[in-house]
Amino acid sequence: MKTFRVYLEDRTMALVPKGGTLEDFLRSLEGKTIKQILDDSTYMNLYMGNKYGLGGAREGSDKDATDFANKLVRFVNRDVGQKRPKVREYETEEFKEEHDYESYRKARHQKAVLGFDRIKARKALEKAEQGIFGDLDDEDPEAYRAARGIGMSEEDREKRVSEFRSNFEDIQNQIDELQDFLSNHPYQRGMSMIEKEYDTAVQDYHNSPLTAEYLTDDGSEAYDELVTAFAKLGGESETVIDV
């Protein structure tokens, strides 16, 4: 049975070729999934981060190995943009017009403004509960006395606190109503549905077994960079590129 340390070392070095050509290494990945390679890359980066510190520069063979692993991830994950395009369908003008985006945008803006108002109202309520009813101004005795509630009856104090609490609760209720509006808005529902479809497509893509055809030279820049990174490890490739 492997110890945890041996298991961890195996995982951190899983993306480092042990010999042969680049094509031999890629053929060894056939049947694995992109997710497995992404997970191995994560282990490797965690290991290197622990070894060199967060953001620390890798050195020597560790740098070359990390560079190769990153280039490998880019190559095998090259079609993810087709599953989750940079320009989302819900960002198109046609989709926005069909799903009343303008009312959605205004409601989101209003909710954001109320969010700042809620912060101010909460602070004012907390101060009121401590007996402070305004900004303390030492240079203005009258303003200071009013802010501290000096001379104010207990009943009036409770009334002022109640006013601050009522203001805070009113703002919170407005935010809740806007949140309900946004959650049930046609644009939000449409966007959520599309995002779920994107997530499913990416998950299916990452969990599909890699094929021999997918792992061969596709003439892309990503593959050329992989060849170059492999050469820095001292390996050879059947692909010849200008470097």
Would you say residue 9 has pLDDT above 90?
no
22-26, 32-36, 171-175, 234-238: the lowest-pLDDT one: 234-238
DSSP label at residue 91: G
Q: For residues 222, 224, 228 and 231, what is the CA-based torsion angle, rounded to 10 degrees?
A: 110
Would you say residue 220 has pLDDT above 80?
yes
Residue 180, Cα to own-chain centre: how many angstroms? Answer: 25
Q: Using CA atoms, how far apart are residues 65 and 41, in angstroms rounded to an integer?
A: 11
Tell me the longest C-alpha to C-alpha distance in the chain: 90
Confidence label for 64 from pLDDT (cuts 50, 70 and 90): confident
22-26, 152-156, 161-165, 179-183: the lowest-pLDDT one: 152-156
CB neighbour list of residue 208: distance below 8 Å, 6 or more residues apart: 33, 34
Mean pLDDT of 29-43: 94
Where do the structural domains in the chain lie, given as residue ranges?
4-81+206-232, 101-184
Residue 21 β-bridge partners: 236
Residue 33 β-bridge partners: 209
Would you say residue 1 has pLDDT above 60?
no
Residues 41/29, Cβ–Cβ less than 8 Å: no
Q: What is the identity of the amino acid at 208?
A: S
Q: Using CA atoms, how far apart are residues 23 and 17, in angstroms rounded to an integer?
A: 11
Would you say residue 51 has pLDDT above 90?
no
Residues 195/26, Cβ–Cβ less than 8 Å: no
